[in-house]
A and B are shown apart, each in its own frame.
Chain A
Amino acid sequence: MSTVANEALGYVDALHNLARYLTGNETDAEDLVQETYARALRAEHQFTAGTNLKAWLFRILRNTFLSSYRRQRNNPTVGGLDTVDAYAQGPASETWLFDDLELDRLRKVVAEEIETALMTLSEEARTVILLDLEGLTEIEVAEVVNCPVGTVKSRLSRARAALRQKLKDYAR
Chain B
Amino acid sequence: MNCEDVRVRLVDYQRGRLPAATHADVRAHLDGCADCTQAEAVEQELTSVLERRLPQHPASLALKRRLAAQWSPSPPVPPWWSRWQPAFAPAMAVAIVLVVGAPLLYYERTVSHERNEQAGMVAEAVNDHLRLLTSQHPLDIESGGIHQVKPWFEGRLDFAPMVPFEGDADFPLKGGAVGYFLDRKAAVLVYARRLHPISLLIFRAEGLAWPARGLTPVGGVDAYVGAERGFNVMMWRRGGLGYALVSDVDAGELKGLAVKLIGRS
Contacts and interface: CB of A to CB of B under 8 A. Distances in A.
Which are the 4 A-B pairs with shortest beta-carbon distances?
A: A26-B206, A20-B57, A16-B59, A13-B58
B220 interface: no
Contacts, number: 119
Contacts of A138: 12, 17
Interface stretch (B36-44, B112-120, B124-132, B168-176): B36-44
A5 B57 contact: no
A111 B42 contact: no
A146 interface: no
Interface stretch (A47-55, A58-66, A73-81, A151-159): A151-159
A129 B54 CA distance: 11
B84 interface: no
B251 interface: no
19 contacts: A12-B63, A12-B64, A13-B56, A17-B58, A20-B57, A33-B67, A34-B66, A34-B67, A98-B42, A102-B42, A103-B41, A110-B53, A111-B54, A115-B55, A133-B50, A138-B12, A138-B17, A157-B8, A160-B43
Given A13-B59, A16-B59, A133-B50, A103 B11 contact: no
B11 A156 contact: yes
B150 interface: no
Nearest to A99: B38
Interface in A128-151: 129, 132-133, 137-138
B263 interface: no
A84 interface: no
Interface stretch (B24-32, B70-78, B95-103, B189-197): B70-78
B4 interface: yes
Interface of B: 4, 7-8, 11-12, 17, 35, 38-39, 41-43, 45-46, 49-51, 53-60, 63-64, 66-68, 70-73, 204-207, 237, 240
Interface string A91-129: 100100111101100110111001100100000000001
Contact of A27 (B50, B57, B64, B206): B206
Contacts of A15: 59
A2 interface: yes
B54 A8 contact: no
Contacts of B205: 26-27
